[in-house]
């Protein structure tokens, strides 16, 4: 532990720390040090390190013994620079205390300003500044912040909604304003404020049972402890969980001399970004307020002014900008803005204060930005020569591209609404619609142009007709690979699944979110990117990525350097075409089972109901021309690009109805007795259908199904060949667990292909390969590769079977697993590298030992997850395959994998 140095000083053009020391000093502390080192006007102060936070929690909330002396030395250094003294009644110095972790956690932890104001130091400060109003304004802010942060929150007191000490104190302030007929806080006179602070202190004593502390060091240590306490406060803990920030990091505390933006009309405070964080445009963007302190700008009590003419918005156009009102200060500030961008080579978020005309820089940090801004800034900074292409590519989080691909809930509107429930974010973007509970209703209203959200416990292939016209799908059950999630993601449709707070009463057509009840027809809004559900209609904002030159440019750079190919999971010509426009280089998974719904379901059902092989063949003959057309259409769209078509995979019961009404209809259409239909459906019942009669097991029992599909594919390819279209079908056997299973099915495919090629007299290039989705297949991959010409990892099933978690039911308990730190994240979203990853690596090694050029890809949902894409790159896969809307995300992640590898 660092020579027991727990306190790092900064100010007066130098610092003990630097921007590189974020782990020890937190982001804020490291950047204050850096700004001091490069000669910016930073009020002097010191940072208490993150190690103290760790120590504090490991030692029953005690501090290292040497800390007291080090803090006092820090105070003295500041005193000697400024020529004032912390506890001095004649010439007092005041401090701010702010938290600062490694990564910024906006608003999650606490700040206390004006520490050091007491009944003894107040008269001295009034004399020194000749400004009584300012001193009492500062005092009322201290009482309000300190009683809230230190005396209430840090003490673990949890008041009822609206009964917190801060709210009670605010009400005293509002009372004075009302009685005096004031509109703004700035209208209060020195006398008003003096009286108010007395009443505030009485209120503190009444509510919290303690006197407001009247000793500077008592206040300072109270502030420092409150920051450390807030690291484990509820808000901070839940923020860390969402953002994946480890609790062990701890926070630092920054103690800094106060400079005052609230001394009068020549003082001000502001927050600015070196570029517009909403659009990414390269201009100085910011807000400020005259005669204000700290939080006033962001708190929304007063409408902030724009820093310059360019930043003016409709709500502040009538107010003067800093550029207009304090032109000299503005020029100085803009100079720092330019220097900061040059120095940090990234967009910075800064805080500044003007005290009686003197500009002070209080903070700089890398600014948060949305996806649109991130993309534009990255591209423009590369063109300006600030950063390399590699850095530009690393600056955009792959998931941020989602924002450019889907309409999203207006972020501004979202901040003023509270979600009524939360589920898993299965399909990104935003949606607004009326609640409907059945696919039929969704179809009926949706096709009429009404906006509906289909709300169900879960969906099945029979609901697809209602899912398509719905704006969004919301289910109470299911996980990230549930039917609803998979289908919605493929369409780029907003979808939330596994919403545990939702219970549906189908009889009364109501949905309960916690204790709130909604009827069919009530409006809700969904943020599918975050999994949040809101009451009513929240506005959406739409973006067209094709019109975004920055998006196109960054992806073209990604394509230049990535090694992984990116394919798509698609099973219609229109999805295939959409995927090509997103940059897909082939189809990695065409799920043929999706082709047996609609009218074709009857031929499929006839096949399933058939008594014998003859009956099945008769029904399959009806399906053949339909399948041939399906494949022909897709192959024609994809042209030379490889198209992996998977033979029928799901258990047959998924194609037959369970409800008596539908069974009756089926009996009539197929000329069977209702009893016979019922018996057949019952005979298809399995206890564990996911581990039952599905995948290649169907093909082994009913080779005629494999024959029909193989014939349809090869005939479609032959037709393309006749038309002069080069196509590359790849026929994929699902759910292979043994070499013999695979060989059995490959033999069927090859035999049929040979027949068709002979019949048609044209040559067709095709491959036969397999899904690797059963753990056993990875163990015997060397044997399977003797005949298999490609592998495609089905990581949905592979995860399901490796963990033994049902992919459709895991949502029920996974949340508890994250809560208890049993699992870091959803293994159905991000590959579990520790376990499932090992099987993948083993399969690759064994497969390529037999067949060095074996083509290997992945087609489970993980193919569009950035972390999993990076893993696939490192493991030496040839391609990833994901839903069309995730293709750009995978392209970027694949490029980032190359960049990260070279570091």
Taking CB under 6 A as the criterion, the residue among 164, 860, 866, 888 binding ligand PEP is 860
Sign of CA dihedral 211, 212, 214, 220: positive
Question: Among residues 538 and 801, whose Cβ is nearest to ligand PEP?
Answer: 801
Question: Among residues 616 and 646, whose Cβ is nearest to ligand PEP?
Answer: 646
**Which stretches within 181-231 are classed as H helix?**
190-208, 216-231
**C-alpha to C-alpha distance for 437 and 379, rounded to whole angstroms:** 45
**C-alpha to C-alpha distance for 488 and 424, rounded to whole angstroms:** 13
Site for Mg ion in 756-795 (CB under 5 A): 773, 794
CB of 863 to Mg ion, least distance (A): 13
Chain residue whose CB lies nearest Mg ion: 797
**C-alpha to C-alpha distance for 753 and 707, rounded to whole angstroms:** 9
Question: Among residues 557 and 805, whose Cβ is nearest to ligand PEP?
Answer: 805
Taking CB under 6 A as the criterion, the residue among 463, 585, 649, 741 binding ligand PEP is 649
**859 catalytic per annotation:** yes
Which 8-state DSSP code applies to residue 668? Answer: H
Q: Cα 560 vs. chain centroid, distance in angstroms?
A: 26
Site for ligand PEP in 775-804 (CB under 6 A): 794-797
Query: Applying CB under 5 A, does 715 fall inside the site for Mg ion?
Result: no
CB of 689 to ligand PEP, least distance (A): 12
Question: Among residues 467 and 589, whose Cβ is nearest to ligand PEP?
Answer: 589
Question: Among residues 213 and 860, whose Cβ is nearest to ligand PEP?
Answer: 860
Cβ atoms 785, 846 nearer than 8 A: yes
Question: Among residues 102 and 591, whose Cβ is nearest to ligand PEP?
Answer: 591
The entry of Mg ion, ligand PEP, none near residue 860 (CB within 5 to 8 angstroms by kind) is ligand PEP
Query: Applying CB under 6 A, does 571 fall inside the site for ligand PEP?
Result: no
**Residue 106: enclosing H or E segment and its boundaries?**
none
Site for ligand PEP in 177-196 (CB under 6 A): none
Query: Applying CB under 6 A, does 287 fall inside the site for ligand PEP?
Result: no
**Beta strand ranges found along 709-766 (DSSP E):** 728-733
Question: Among residues 142 and 713, whose Cβ is nearest to ligand PEP?
Answer: 713
The entry of Mg ion, ligand PEP, none near residue 859 (CB within 5 to 8 angstroms by kind) is ligand PEP
**C-alpha to C-alpha distance for 804 and 823, rounded to whole angstroms:** 14
State the Cα angle at 558 between 556 and 562, rounded to 5°: 130
Cβ atoms 245, 237 nearer than 8 A: no
**Residue 127: enclosing H or E segment and its boundaries?**
helix 121-129
Cβ atoms 201, 209 nearer than 8 A: no
**C-alpha to C-alpha distance for 380 and 670, rounded to whole angstroms:** 64
Question: Among residues 795 and 883, whose Cβ is nearest to ligand PEP?
Answer: 795
Binding-site string for ligand PEP from residue 107 to residue 136, where x marks contact by CB under 6 A and - marks none: ------------------------------
- How would you write 274-293 as a 3-class SS string? CCCCCCCCCCCEEEEEECCC
**Beta strand ranges found along 163-320 (DSSP E):** 251-257, 268-273, 285-290, 305-306
Taking CB under 6 A as the criterion, the residue among 351, 773, 832, 865 binding ligand PEP is 773
Query: If you search the block for the tokens 């707070």, which residue do you land on?
Result: 501
Taking CB under 5 A as the criterion, the residue among 380, 463, 797, 861 binding Mg ion is 797
Taking CB under 6 A as the criterion, the residue among 589, 788, 844, 880 binding ligand PEP is 589
Query: Applying CB under 6 A, does 53 fall inside the site for ligand PEP?
Result: no
- In sequence order, the 6+-apart residues with CB closer than 8 A to the CB of 866 are 397, 398, 399, 889, 890, 892, 893, 896
Question: Among residues 707 and 773, whose Cβ is nearest to ligand PEP?
Answer: 773
The entry of ligand PEP, Mg ion, none near residue 380 (CB within 5 to 8 angstroms by kind) is none
Task: Characterize the bridge pairing of strands 728-733 and 767-772.
Answer: parallel
Taking CB under 6 A as the criterion, the residue among 859, 872, 889, 892 binding ligand PEP is 859
Question: Among residues 749 and 777, whose Cβ is nearest to ligand PEP?
Answer: 777
Question: Among residues 323 and 773, whose Cβ is nearest to ligand PEP?
Answer: 773
Site for ligand PEP in 421-480 (CB under 6 A): none
**C-alpha to C-alpha distance for 869 and 892, rounded to whole angstroms:** 10
CB of 773 to Mg ion, least distance (A): 5
**Beta strand ranges found along 612-714 (DSSP E):** 642-646
State the Cα angle at 128 between 356 and 131, rounded to 5°: 60
Residue count, binding to ligand PEP (CB under 6 A): 10
Query: If you search the block for the tokens 């029904």, which residue do you land on?
Result: 619
Cβ atoms 350, 361 nearer than 8 A: yes
CB of 862 to ligand PEP, least distance (A): 8
**Beta strand ranges found along 281-334 (DSSP E):** 285-290, 305-306
The entry of ligand PEP, Mg ion, none near residue 589 (CB within 5 to 8 angstroms by kind) is ligand PEP
CB of 592 to Mg ion, least distance (A): 13
Backbone angles phi, psi at 121, to 5 degrees: -90, -20
Backbone angles phi, psi at 284, to 5 degrees: -75, 125
From the list 859, 862, 872, 873, the catalytic residue is 859
From the list 53, 406, 483, 872, the catalytic residue is 483
**C-alpha to C-alpha distance for 567 and 641, rounded to whole angstroms:** 9
Query: Applying CB under 5 A, does 630 fall inside the site for Mg ion?
Result: no
The entry of ligand PEP, Mg ion, none near residue 329 (CB within 5 to 8 angstroms by kind) is none
**483 catalytic per annotation:** yes
**C-alpha to C-alpha distance for 371 and 260, rounded to whole angstroms:** 35
CB of 456 to ligand PEP, least distance (A): 20
The entry of Mg ion, ligand PEP, none near residue 795 (CB within 5 to 8 angstroms by kind) is ligand PEP
Tokens standing for 660?
């008596």
The entry of Mg ion, ligand PEP, none near residue 868 (CB within 5 to 8 angstroms by kind) is none
The entry of ligand PEP, Mg ion, none near residue 152 (CB within 5 to 8 angstroms by kind) is none
The entry of Mg ion, ligand PEP, none near residue 229 (CB within 5 to 8 angstroms by kind) is none
Backbone angles phi, psi at 96, to 5 degrees: -105, 150
Query: Applying CB under 5 A, does 861 fall inside the site for Mg ion?
Result: no
Query: Applying CB under 6 A, does 865 fall inside the site for ligand PEP?
Result: no
Query: Applying CB under 6 A, does 888 fall inside the site for ligand PEP?
Result: no
Query: Applying CB under 6 A, does 591 fall inside the site for ligand PEP?
Result: yes
Distances (CA, A) of 320 to 316, 451, 473, 613, 654: 8, 43, 47, 84, 67
The entry of Mg ion, ligand PEP, none near residue 400 (CB within 5 to 8 angstroms by kind) is none
Cβ atoms 258, 96 nearer than 8 A: yes
Query: Applying CB under 5 A, does 26 fall inside the site for Mg ion?
Result: no
CB of 824 to ligand PEP, least distance (A): 21
Q: Provide the β-strand partners of residue 475.
A: 456
Residues with catalytic annotation?
483, 859
Site for ligand PEP, rule CB under 6 A: 589, 591, 649, 773, 794-797, 859-860
Site for Mg ion, rule CB under 5 A: 773, 794, 797
């Amino acid at each position: 532990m660092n020579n027991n140095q727990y306190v790092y000083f900064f100010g007066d053009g130098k610092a003990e720390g630097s921007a590189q020391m974020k782990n020890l000093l937190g982001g804020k502390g490291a950047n204050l040090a850096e700004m001091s080192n490069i000669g910016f006007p930073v009020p002097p102060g010191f940072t208490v390190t993150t190690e103290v936070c760790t120590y504090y929690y490991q030692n029953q909330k005690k501090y290292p013994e040497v800390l007291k002396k080090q803090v006092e030395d820090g105070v003295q250094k500041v005193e000697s620079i400024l020529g004032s003294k912390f506890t001095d009644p004649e010439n007092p110095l005041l401090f701010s205390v702010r938290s600062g972790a490694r990564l910024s956690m906006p608003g999650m932890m606490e700040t206390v300003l004006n520490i050091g104001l007491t009944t003894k130091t107040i008269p001295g400060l009034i004399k020194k500044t000749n400004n009584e109003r300012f001193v009492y304004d500062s005092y009322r802010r201290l009482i309000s912040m300190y009683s809230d942060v230190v005396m209430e929150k840090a003490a673990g007191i949890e008041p009822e909604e609206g009964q917190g000490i801060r709210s009670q104190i605010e009400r005293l302030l509002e009372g004075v304003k009302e009685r005096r007929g004031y509109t703004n806080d700035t209208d209060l006179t020195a006398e008003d404020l003096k009286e108010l602070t007395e009443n505030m202190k009485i209120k503190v004593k009444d509510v919290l049972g303690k006197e407001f502390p009247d000793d500077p060091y008592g206040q300072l240590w109270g502030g420092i402890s409150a920051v450390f306490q807030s690291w484990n406060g509820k808000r901070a803990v839940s923020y860390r969980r969402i953002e994946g920030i480890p609790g062990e990091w701890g926070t630092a505390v920054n103690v800094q001399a106060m400079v005052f933006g609230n001394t009068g009309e020549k003082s001000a405070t502001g927050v600015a970004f070196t570029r517009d964080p909403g659009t990414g445009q390269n201009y100085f963007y910011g807000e400020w307020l005259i005669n204000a302190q700290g939080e006033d700008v962001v708190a929304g009590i007063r409408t902030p002014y724009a820093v310059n003419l360019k930043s003016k918005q409709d709500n502040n156009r009538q107010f003067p900008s800093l550029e207009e009102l304090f032109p000299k200060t503005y020029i100085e500030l803009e100079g720092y803005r330019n220097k900061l961008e040059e120095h940090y080579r990234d967009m910075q978020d800064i805080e500044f204060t003007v005290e009686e005309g003197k500009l002070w820089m209080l903070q700089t940090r890398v600014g948060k930005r949305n996806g649109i801004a991130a993309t534009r800034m990255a591209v423009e900074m590369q063109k300006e020569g600030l950063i390399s292409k590699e850095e530009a590519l690393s600056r955009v989080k792959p998931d941020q591209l989602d924002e450019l691909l889907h309409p999203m809930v207006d972020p501004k509107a979202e901040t003023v609404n509270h979600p009524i429930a939360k589920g898993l974010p299965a399909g990104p973007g935003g949606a607004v619609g009326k609640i409907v509970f059945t696919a039929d209703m969704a179809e009926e209203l949706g096709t009429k142009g009404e906006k509906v959200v289909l709300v169900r416990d879960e969906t099945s292939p029979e609901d697809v007709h209602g899912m398509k016209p719905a704006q969004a799908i919301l289910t109470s059950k299911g996980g990230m690979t549930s039917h609803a999630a998979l289908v919605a993601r493929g369409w780029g449709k907003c979808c939330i699944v596994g919403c545990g707070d939702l219970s549906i009463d189908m009889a009364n057509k109501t949905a309960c979110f916690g204790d709130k009840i909604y009827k069919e027809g009530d409006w809700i809004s969904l943020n599918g990117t975050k999994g949040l559900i809101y009451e009513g209609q929240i506005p959406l904002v739409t973006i067209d990525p094709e019109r975004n030159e920055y998006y196109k440019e960054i992806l073209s750079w990604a394509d230049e350097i990535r090694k992984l190919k990116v394919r798509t999971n698609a099973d219609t010509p229109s999805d295939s075409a959409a995927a090509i426009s997103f940059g897909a280089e082939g189809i990695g998974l065409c799920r043929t089972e999706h082709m047996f719904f609609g009218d074709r379901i009857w031929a499929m059902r006839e096949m399933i109901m058939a008594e014998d092989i003859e009956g099945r063949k008769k029904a399959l003959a009806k399906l053949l021309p339909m399948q041939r057309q399906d494949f022909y259409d897709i192959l024609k769209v994809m042209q030379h690009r490889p198209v992996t078509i998977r033979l029928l995979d799901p258990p047959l019961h998924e194609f037959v109805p369970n409800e008596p009404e539908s069974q009756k209809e089926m009996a009539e259409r197929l000329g069977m007795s209702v009893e016979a239909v019922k018996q057949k459906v019952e005979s298809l019942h399995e206890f564990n259908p996911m581990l039952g009669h599905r995948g290649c097991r169907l093909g082994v029992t009913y080779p005629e199904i494999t024959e029909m599909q193989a014939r349809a594919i090869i005939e479609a390819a032959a037709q393309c060949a006749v038309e002069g279209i080069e196509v590359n079908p790849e026929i994929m056997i699902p759910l292979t667990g043994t070499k013999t299973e695979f060989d059995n099915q490959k033999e069927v495919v090859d035999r049929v292909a040979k027949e068709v090629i002979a019949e048609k007299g044209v040559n067709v290039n095709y491959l036969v390969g397999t899904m690797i989705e059963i753990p056993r297949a990875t163990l015997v991959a060397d044997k399977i590769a003797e005949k298999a010409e490609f592998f495609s990892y089905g990581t949905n099933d592979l995860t399901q079977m490796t963990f033994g978690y049902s992919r459709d039911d895991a949502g029920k308990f996974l949340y508890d697993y994250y809560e208890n730190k049993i699992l870091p994240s959803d293994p159905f979203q991000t590959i579990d590298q520790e376990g499932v990853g090992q099987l993948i690596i083993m399969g690759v090694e064994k497969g390529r030992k037999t067949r060095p050029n074996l083509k290997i890809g992945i087609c489970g949902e993980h193919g569009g997850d950035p972390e999993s894409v990076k893993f696939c790159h490192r493991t030496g896969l040839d391609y990833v395959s994901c839903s069309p809307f995730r293709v750009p995300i995978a392209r970027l992640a694949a490029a980032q994998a190359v960049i990260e590898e070279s570091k």
